[in-house]
Chains A and B, each alone.
Chain A
């Protein structure tokens, strides 16, 4: 039950983009068309779902004092980033080997996931909220799905307003910022729901 609760909570109620403003840079840059947004969203889900359990294992079994005999938590950031970067490299190579079509469709956006703060942010949330392995996997899937949903919705809206008579100063990024704010208002509708309390 905890698995589903955390999934729903991170996907809809505490959306990584729209309530924490994580992963803003690629969110704004890649949301011009639905097709690329879809590809990047899928890649983010995939990388999050792989790196967070690995980071959890590293955090629990390598960095803690009682395992290694000394406190290595100061290495947390660098290790997490190293894991994320290597995982993205690995995913890139696997996709290039087995699905060249998808690889070319994603293009530069695949390596860009390395610097997506939603991924590192997810791992750091996992530490500060003291999730176990199952919970952090749920958080990874939910957070990735929420990010995916937000970026695809923004891309669809931006495709729709492409031919609108937007004031010249706001065209492009300006409109994307306003849209993100308005989407944040819409997503506030679910804020405050506690999925864990519903089952009782």
Chain B
């Protein structure tokens, strides 16, 4: 192995000759091999093979299950819309292949654009490539709608990496979560591509009943050719959208009501009735609902949470306090109960939208969260509160967690500052008290001697 490493090392173009190629080489070399630096005689510190990549790769591992289900669900939602293979396992090869055609370009664009900027800045600054983009690049595809135009994705990734991270000095210095900033940029700059009824189901020319599907060469040529040879079912290019299909997510239904329900019924007004008139709770729990690519399947996100917690990468304090904040606000809303959405029982809010995904992967980002333990409790609790407020009370946005986490990212340094100030003044008081006590003890001793 060491010979292999040495041979690869010979490929290094050298830092002076070509800074950019050297950075590129260095990045891939440390990706393949653990650096074997040891402390020399003059040093007093202990070096360790663990570096930032280990932390990052755990997070990426924890979200692999979401990728798998996301690939399936893109295809599944597409086939539900055209009324074919609506069973969970029917036509699974078609669904997976369809998801792959949609997800792979998103993944490639997000990572190529982000990493290219990262490499360029690393070469400019003359240091090694920072690993920070590994996680952002894995998270960004999971929080996108499947039909996002790739040029919009490229622009928003560039914005998030340059303005959100590199301007602050690179990995570990950013104030706002890079993946969420990327999504927020699309959300405000190109709102029709990422919100509303029609953003979450891929490959349809329209959502009215009878609209044709929109297949490319990949479906009708490439995969149909393979599947025909194997004797499997193939894509049907003449399929049309079925009657009574809107593509609305559970959150849109809860806020605006089911547009196909009869006038005057509870389901038409919104709330939990409207959600269950289209999706069953079990279906929402298992994730066979339209939504961002990675957010829908709750059991697999819980697996991710367990990986993150058992490897101690993510903070359980933030997760727990965010859950408590959401529960608390949800209970208050249930007690007020003035609009149909507010009467949705608070525990059903976990079933809809991206609460668990945001809690597991977004709120726990160690860079942008509060770094003091007390601060983490406040930080998480306020995310839970603000997220519910935006989700239920803000008619402008259907989902709240992205904006809630960005909102609290802004206040995380302030929370830390206040916690530190409180600690300082408490210890100062304690020190003064112990000094005063020791003085008084000395005085009594002096008096006794006399």
Which of A's residues lie within 8 Å of B, judged by CB?
34, 152-153, 156-157, 159-161, 164-167, 170, 175, 178-179, 182-183, 185-194, 198-200
Contact = CB atoms under 8 A, between A and B. Distances in A.
Determine the main DSSP class of A at the interface with B: helix
Contacts of A164: 168-169, 173
Contacts of A161: 168-169, 173, 175
14 contacts: A34-B417, A156-B411, A156-B414, A157-B414, A165-B170, A167-B166, A175-B168, A179-B175, A182-B163, A185-B176, A188-B188, A189-B407, A190-B390, A192-B396
B129 interface: no
Interface residues of B, number: 36
A198 B411 contact: no
B176 A186 contact: yes
Nearest to B411: A153
Contact of B414 (A153, A188, A192, A200): A153
Contacts of B166: 167
A143 to B, nearest CB: 19
A189 B175 contact: no
Given A165-B169, A166-B169, A182 B164 contact: yes
Contact of A166 (B168, B386, B414): B168
Contact of B404 (A152, A189, A191): A189
Nearest to B333: A198
B187 to A, nearest CB: 9
A186 B168 contact: no
A166 B168 CA distance: 5
B134 interface: no
A1 B389 CA distance: 19
B163 A178 contact: yes
A187 to B, nearest CB: 7
Nearest to B184: A185
Contacts of B175: 157, 160-161, 179, 182
B121 to A, nearest CB: 9
Interface string B176-217: 100001001100100000000000000000000000000000
- Which residue among B397, B409, B411, B413 has the maximum number of chain A CB atoms within 10 Å of its CB? B413
A34 B415 CA distance: 12
Contact of A186 (B125, B393, B407, B417): B407
Contacts of B164: 182
A189 B413 contact: no
